[in-house]
Amino acid sequence: MFGSISATLFETISIWGVLFIAVLGLGYAFMLKTQIMKYDKGTPKMQEVWTSIRQGADAYLSRQLKSILPLIIILTGVLFFSVYVIPPTDEALQRFSRFSPDMVRFIVGIGRAAAFIMGAFFSLTVGQFGMRMAVEGNVRVASASRRSFSEALKIAYRTGTITGMLTDGLGLLGGTMIFIIFGIASPDVLLGFGFGGTLLALFMRVGGGIYTKAADVGADLVGKVEKTFPRMIRGMPRSSLIW
């Protein structure tokens, strides 16, 4: 029984199987995290550079979170009141047939808003945790590359796998829980879950891209200034310095 709607044995086994896979994926992600954190972070100089990178990433993630939270609060209200613009589907009315249409509208609105928060929180978790693990993994990959290519590749692959497992695991977990609770009325609520997840993913992807591109350009300029750029300028004609 899912959402007071009868299900076949195959459907029951399938839904619980999906839920088990979601939990298994999340467990695998945390297992990989434990394995990665056991590797060394290299020389003191490497750790000094890594500390600066980590502090910059933490500052960016903290600032991004402060910018996103007001938007989440506003859109949660929008998602709730959206049911008063577009009424619930016939399936939702059937799922909550023991309630009046106004109460069904309220229930779906609450479910949609809660699903939006859950989707946004899951997406935010993937972005925050994934970026922090990328920072943790980078210095360990650099350290391992001094010893073995295969070891460095293994650490890099496992670090990237964490984000993938979190994305799949949390996505399956949220969608499955909504289906178990709302049954045939799930599409009315999944709208909020999908919107919350994709909105935060887009926001963090764009913001993260800007952050990493700025870091790449900064590192590139520092390298040129410290190594070859001054000598290049001294050897160039004045007319070519006008950009």
pTM over 0.85: no
3-state secondary structure of 72: helix
Give domain limits for the chain.
Answer: 9-222
Residue 158: predicted pLDDT: 92
What's the distance, Cα to Cα, between the start and end of the chain in Å?
Answer: 69
Non-local (6+) Cβ contacts of 108 within 8 A are 83, 88, 92, 185, 188, 189
Q: Report which residue type is found at 73.
A: I
Ordered mean pLDDT values, 10 residues apiece, the chain (243 residues): 64 88 94 92 88 86 86 91 87 87 91 93 88 89 89 91 91 92 89 88 70 69 67 52 43
HSE-CB of 117 using CA atoms within 13 angstroms:
12
Q: Does residue 5 sit in helix, strand or coil? A: strand
**What is the residue whose two structure tokens read 């999906």?**
18
DSSP 243: -
Structure tokens at 33: 């995290």
List, in sequence order, the alpha helices (H) in the chain.
9-37, 44-81, 90-95, 101-145, 149-182, 186-226, 229-234
Beta bridge partners of 2: 5
Distances (CA, A) of 112 to 39, 192, 196: 43, 5, 10
* Structure-token match 């195959």, residue found: 10
* pLDDT for 240: 45
Q: Which pLDDT does position 228 carry in this prediction? A: 64
What is the predicted pLDDT for the residue at 210? 67
Q: Are 115 and 197 in contact (CB under 8 A)?
A: no
Question: So what's the pLDDT on residue 109?
Answer: 92
